Structure 1
Amino acid sequence: MLLDELIEMPRIRSAIELEELPSPSTLCKAFNRLDMAVWRVLLNLSATLLPTNGVVGIDASGFDRSHASKHYTKRTKLTIQQLEVTLLVDTRANAIIDLHVTTTRKHDSKIAPSLIKRNTGEVAVLLGDKGYDDQKIRALVRETGVRPVIKHREFSSLHKAWNARLDADLYGQRSQNETVNSRLKRKYGAFVRSRLWWKQFRELVVGCLTHNIDKTL
């Protein structure tokens, strides 16, 4: 599909100095050759194009690993495992700063530390729901100079009091995560097309990268 579009886009080909159209296999080989680390760097660079403010929300969403219809899979009793995608989203610019992808059912609190450690310089305030209510996360965030605005699970009246004192306006910005998740699925699909798991991870990074560039334009 990309090659078909490039055939109809002489101005775009000229802008990127593409004198000859590549074959489909060339694109696939290039996609395979670029490591995940390279795509992460490109994602980080794309986020710098937007006016971020350091108020970052963290949230997870599911992406299907096949685009078979829900009706078909239910009728045939197929189970299609989802990818769990956790996004770090700057709430001012709706920029995706980083993501974590897993095929397992890890708890949110187990995923957050790696994202926080990778992006300490980009986050001033971390917004999270009760799924990220873990003392280890709060301690890690404070150690890196980040302010945690995370709801407590209400096991006692003290937890309810802490939640009541939470900055409602600031915490409300966490809804931008849901907006970005919804936009990704509406514009680029709620499923991945690749069949291999490592290609699926890269495909999602490319989707996030494209989202940032699209927001910039």
Structure 2
Amino acid sequence: MDALPKSRLLRFVERAMVLARRAVPRFSSRYSRKRFTLRQHVVLLCLKVKKTTTYRDLVDELIEMPRIRDALDLDAIPAPSTLCKAFDRLEMAVWRVLLNASLSDVPMNGVAGIDASGFERAHASTHYTKRTNLTIQQLKTTLLVDTATNTVLDIHVTTTRKHDTQIAPQVVKRNAASIAVLTGDKGYDDQTIRQLAREHDVRPLIKHREFTPLHKAWNARLDTDLYHQRNMNETVNAAIKQKYGAFVRSRIWWKQFRELVIKCIVYNIERFLGD
């Protein structure tokens, strides 16, 4: 019988393992039990987000996935609690490094768009919501997107109602070396952002709020072909929500932040594979 072709799921796991080997150490410490590697945990957590499933269901499916287990070098099946504890233990810095690694081998043009969207926190139980006085039902998620490849360069998440102009400077500083043009809608119309971008040799292409005829004239002179590439932000936001859910499953805010970063990593890997 002819060898079966690689499925999209198998190609995803193989690519995720390549990135994990680049960005993640094999074990957390020399005192680790060394039954499973950090890289295996990272890829399995990405696989959980890709399949929008639970820990228990993922482990159950792994039993029937011999080729996926081979790609992961799994000699045993981890328990659901093992993956849950790994998610708690892996810090945000690890996921950010993996997000940067997911952009390797991707040809980018230096034009980036910034925009914000919301992810629901409504999947938390009503009892938990009342006990923690949780009043804000959405996480404000700001994505910096490369408009050539529709990949996520960076993500900022907050539980507060911060204005876009308060979030953008942090994102620009963190990614100034990898972008040449920054596009944004009128929500990012702020002189501080424009000045900061120019200081880092980034061209700000942000529409002005039209309070005076001069603002209208500036908007009329805007490079519309380049500016309209910022629409890719909305495309990416919609694609992530459609594929991996417009909500987070975690109940604690810092876990919710990590979960959204993993969604972006999974999305970037699938973009690289052309899925």
One-letter identity of the residue aligned with 2:224: A
Partner residue, 2:201 = 145
Whether 1:174 and 2:230 are equivalent positions in the alignment is: yes
With normalisation by structure 2, the TM-score equals 0.74
Quote the RMSD (CA, aligned, Å): 1.3
- Larger gyration radius, structure 1 or structure 2: 2
The within-5 A match list for 1:125-136 is 125-136=181-192
Offset, 1:200: 0.2
One-letter identity of the residue aligned with 1:60: A
Q: How many Å separate the matches in 1 of 2:80 and 2:208?
A: 50
One-letter identity of the residue aligned with 2:94: V
Whether 1:58 and 2:114 are equivalent positions in the alignment is: yes
Are the equivalent residues in 1 in contact too, given 2:136–2:159 (CA < 8 A)? no
One of 238, 247, 260 as aligned partner of 1:191: 247
Whether 1:216 and 2:257 are equivalent positions in the alignment is: no
Partner residue, 1:71 = none
Task: State the number of aligned residues.
Answer: 208
One-letter identity of the residue aligned with 1:86: T
Runs of 4+ residues over 4 Å off in structure 1: none
One of 120, 134, 137 as aligned partner of 2:176: 120
Partner residue, 1:75 = none
One-letter identity of the residue aligned with 1:92: A
Are the equivalent residues in 2 in contact too, given 1:141–1:147 (CA < 8 A)? yes
1:129-172 CA-partner distances (Å, limit 9, x unpaired): 00000000000000000011000000100000000000010011
Partner residue, 2:96 = 40
One of 149, 153, 156 as aligned partner of 1:100: 156
Gaps of 5+ in 2: 1-56, 125-133
Partner residue, 1:19 = 75
Percent pairwise identity: 70
After the TM superposition, which of the residue ranges 33-42 and 79-88 deviates more from structure 2?
Answer: 79-88
Offset, 1:79: 6.2
Gaps of 5+ in 1: 69-77
Offset, 1:8: 2.0
Q: How many Å separate the matches in 2 of 1:124 and 1:80?
A: 35
Q: How many Å separate the matches in 1 of 2:224 and 2:169?
A: 24
Q: What secondary structure sits across from 1:12 in the alignment?
A: helix
Offset, 1:4: 2.3
Partner residue, 1:89 = 145
